[in-house]
Chains A and B, each alone.
Chain A
Amino acid sequence: MDTSRSYLEPSSFSKKMAAAIIIVYAVITLIPISWMVMTSFKNVDSAISYPPEVLFEPSLEGYVNLFTNRSRQSQEYLDSLPPPENWYEELVRSREMVITGPSKFLGRYSNSMIIGFGSTFASVFLGALAAYAFSRFRVPLKDDLLFFILSTRMFPPIAVAVPIFIMYRKLGLGDTHLGMIILYTVVNLSLAVWLLKGFMDEIPKEYEEAAMIDGYSRLQAFFKVVLPQAMTGIAATAIFCMIFSWNEYAFAVLLTQFNAQTAPPFIPTIIGEGGLDWPAIGAGTTLFLLPVMIFTIILRKHLLRGITFGAVRK
């Protein structure tokens, strides 16, 4: 019998089993994503070919189509044009088309950025202030207020879509960045307050008391001493808020059309010649995946500690 290993440590067999299960799970999860990325690098024909092509000649057609508007032209017209100036014009011409201008994708994408990061920042900032107050001060009806805040999570946000739609029309907030930021912030705020309150509760109040004795006001103490120590909680909360507002589809369809339309309602509307332009949609979703992925990777150390925080006391 192997006596060198602690009884608390799993056996090498169970470790291998765990690894195998994780690998299987990862493969299952990654197949659709890798198919999506593959599709984004196919050309229009190979994307819809049957049987599906696993090995294919990569092409940037999807990305070119995603970022451009094009129109079909006759061969004579194409021949009369000066030679293409760059690789993507050449690619489009080979399909008997010319580029007529940039597509709306970049605008929709930056809308997503503005609204996603804007509402995440607002949720975390307001959530941190509220959580601090709930954690430190004797707020009248504290428990009831916290429950009210939580109760906004008890129905799917889309349940209130109609009243919000009417409200936004009256207020002129429909199809504006501000309107979407406010909406997503409202939805995320309850989560942010509850998550951050847990973290604030864990920070001993002696730190800000020490700062106040050292001559700082409570607000200064909050920013200089409490917030830096709540970074873990802030990072975890920010990721959750970001994922929600980045992915949100229903409200975006309902409330935005032109100015503030985000990427999720836009991507499925990319239509090519004679049907959906799958490589372009693949390219759009691949690019759409990147920011949240990068954001999560940057904050992942905090995220892991954040999710398990409070479970084990230091």
Chain B
Amino acid sequence: MSQIKIVNLQKSFGDFTAVKNSNLTINDKEFFVLLGPSGCGKTTTLRMIAGLELPTSGEIYLGDEEVGMLRASERDIAFVFQLFALYPHMNVRNNLSFPLKMQGYKKSDIKNRVEEAAKLLRIDHILNSNISSLSGGDRQRVALGRALVRRPKAFLMDEPLGTLDAEFRELMCLELKKLHLDIGATTVYVTHDQLEAMSLADRIAVMDGGEILQADEPNIIYNKPKTKFVASFIGSPGMNFFEVNEGISKDQSFVNIEGAKFDIPKQLEESKGSKNFFGIRPENLTLNNNEGLKGSVFGVEYLGSRKIITVKTSLGEIKVKTDISVDVKLNENVQVKPSNNNIIIFDGATDKSLNSEFIK
């Protein structure tokens, strides 16, 4: 197992730059998730680490070795594909032993290692089955098994749970997490699903437009997003933003939005421009009938234990996550106000969050 480090990595396809000047260090034995919307460059980054794409510029280190220009077959990594890419003309056992055969292991060694991996993944009873007869979950396990038997330096996974149905995905998430704890392999996992990322990752890198916006532990990504994109992409629903048409100065502790005054955490940094954004998560807002921003209820979504209420105000639509007991009707007039001071100011010029007492 090894650390993975990418330095100034860039990838262009013609005029299109898929990955821009990225730097990242993935620690040994870490479960690292690359998260972002489709087309953000996460899969391209993963494929460059795997050697399925060659970088336009930059370096990739696997352990101490620079592997950026090596072929995939020379890198000693394993890759789990979204569609599994199990060889359909071979049975499960042959799929699992395929990578070992190339490395010239003895027949008995191959058998032992295949059976060991199969036992770990609980697929030892289907070793002689055909791929086409397997369920989605079993295919997933076989794909993992094929990665496991090699004992590679790192595991790379490209949305491996993407094709499974929701219920099964949760189960496989748990299994993956457990498997990672058992074997402690450096893992890079690509997904667009934030729940998957949150539940699996030791650290998450959020990507957009070919850039890595933030790489941190899940709770930091959620609570202290560094950019406006991260704040809106993470969370369901994402953060609410209000335009603030004034510059923010150091030590400022309130802002004016459309003539109303809102308290904010004491700012430790001044903004570059005069247009900024006031960001607050839906669960940090409450509804009441006497103070705050006036609006009318536009939509109510039940999430079982919580409710998401969309309120139409003069500042646009605001999502409020409330307790299930809050009872409002469509078009009812309500007022919205922050319930705490967990507010982040984003600099309109850079989209980055400004340091404050709340987010340092």
Point out residues on A near B: beta carbons under 8 Å: 204, 206-207, 209-217, 220, 225, 228-229
Residues of A within 8 A of B73 (CB): 212-217
Instruction: Check A206–B50 contact: CB distance below 8 A.
Output: no
Is B192 an interface position by the 8 A CB rule?
Answer: no
Chain B residues lying within 8 Å of A215, measured Cβ to Cβ, are 73, 99, 102-103, 150
A82 to chain B, nearest CB (A): 61
Q: A204-B83, A206-B81, A216-B73 are in contact. Are A211 and B98 (CB under 8 A)?
A: yes
Q: Considering the chains assembled together, what is the distance between the CA atoms of A65 and B72 in angstroms?
A: 64
Residues of B within 8 A of A (CB): 50-52, 71-73, 77-79, 81-83, 85, 87-89, 98-99, 102-103, 146, 150
Q: Please give me the residue from chain A that is nearest to B99 by CB atom.
A: A214
State how many angstroms separate the Cβ of B157 from the closest Cβ of chain A: 12
Query: What are some 22 contacts across the A-B interface (CB < 8 A)?
Result: A206-B82, A209-B52, A209-B79, A209-B81, A209-B85, A210-B81, A211-B98, A212-B71, A212-B72, A212-B73, A213-B51, A213-B77, A213-B78, A213-B79, A214-B102, A214-B150, A215-B102, A215-B103, A215-B150, A220-B102, A228-B89, A229-B88
Q: Are B87 and A225 in contact (CB under 8 A)?
A: yes
Given contacts A209-B52, A209-B72, A209-B79, contact A216 B102 (CB under 8 A): yes
Closest 10 CB pairs of A and B: A214-B99, A206-B85, A215-B102, A210-B85, A228-B89, A212-B72, A213-B79, A206-B81, A215-B73, A213-B72
Of A207, A210, A213, A220, chain B has the most CB atoms within 10 Å of the CB of A213
Complex: chain A residue closest to B147, CB-CB: A213
Cβ of A128 to closest chain B Cβ, rounded Å: 16
Q: Is the CB of A214 within 8 A of B52?
A: no
A207 near B85 (CB under 8 angstroms)?
yes
A207 and B88 alpha carbons, distance in the complex (Å): 9
Q: A204-B83, A206-B81, A206-B83 are in contact. Are A213 and B52 (CB under 8 A)?
A: yes
Q: With A and B bound together, what is the CA distance between A206 and B79 in angstroms?
A: 10
Question: Which residues of the partner chain A approach B89 to less than 8 Å between Cβ atoms?
Answer: 228-229
Residues on B with C-beta less than 8 A from A212 are 51-52, 71-73
State in angstroms the CA–CA spacing of A210 and B139 once bound together: 14
Q: Provide the bound-state CA to CA distance between A64 and B227, in Å.
A: 91
Q: Is the CB of B85 within 8 A of A214?
A: no
Expressed in whole angstroms, the minimum distance between the Cβ of A233 and any Cβ of chain B is 14
A211 and B87 alpha carbons, distance in the complex (Å) = 9
Residue with the greatest number of chain A CB neighbours at <10 A, chosen from B50, B78, B89? B89
Q: Closest Cβ of chain B: how far from A35's Cβ, in Å?
A: 44
Which residue in chain B gives the minimum CB-CB distance to A227? B89
Could you tell me the distance between the alpha carbons of A209 and B146 in the complex, rounded to whole angstroms? 13
Give the CA-CA distance A225 to B87 in the complex, in Å.
Answer: 7
Contact status B102-A204, CB under 8 Å? no
Given contacts A215-B103, A216-B73, contact A210 B88 (CB under 8 A): no
Report Cα–Cα, A217/B51, bound state, in Å.
Answer: 12
Q: How far is the CA of A220 from the CA of B150 in the complex (A)?
A: 18
Cα separation A229 to B146 with both chains bound (whole Å): 19
Q: Is the CB of A204 within 8 A of B85?
A: yes
- Give the residue name and chain of the B residue nearest to A207 (CB): B85
| Residue of chain A at shortest CB distance from B156 | A213
CA A215 to CA B149, docked complex, whole Å: 13
Which chain A residues border B51 with CB–CB below 8 Å? 212-213
Q: How far is A209 from B98 in the complex, measured between Cα atoms in Å?
A: 13
Q: How far is the CB of B244 from chain A (nearest CB, A)?
A: 47
Distance between A202 CB and nearest chain B CB, rounded to angstroms: 12
Minimum distance in angstroms from B166 CB to a CB of chain A = 24
A214 and B52 CA atoms in complex are apart in Å by 12
Min CB distance A230 to B, Å, is 10
Q: How far is the CA of A215 from the CA of B70 in the complex (A)?
A: 12
A214 to B146, Cβ gap below 8 A? yes
**Cα(A228)–Cα(B90), bound, Å:** 10
B102, B103, B146: most-surrounded residue (chain A CB, <10 A): B102
Q: CA A212 – CA B74 in complex, angstroms?
A: 9
**Residues of the B chain whose Cβ atoms lie less than 8 Å from the Cβ of A209:** 52, 72, 79, 81, 85
Q: Which residue of B lies closest to A228 (CB)?
A: B89
Interchain nearest-CB distance for A218 vs B (Å): 9
Looking across the interface, which residue of chain A has its beta carbon closest to that of B98?
A214
A228 to B77, CA, bound (A): 25
| Extra contacts besides A212-B73, A213-B72, A229-B88 (12): CB < 8 Å | A204-B83, A204-B85, A206-B82, A207-B87, A210-B87, A212-B51, A213-B51, A214-B98, A214-B146, A215-B102, A215-B150, A217-B73
Instruction: Tell me whether A213 and B102 are in contact (CB under 8 A).
Output: no
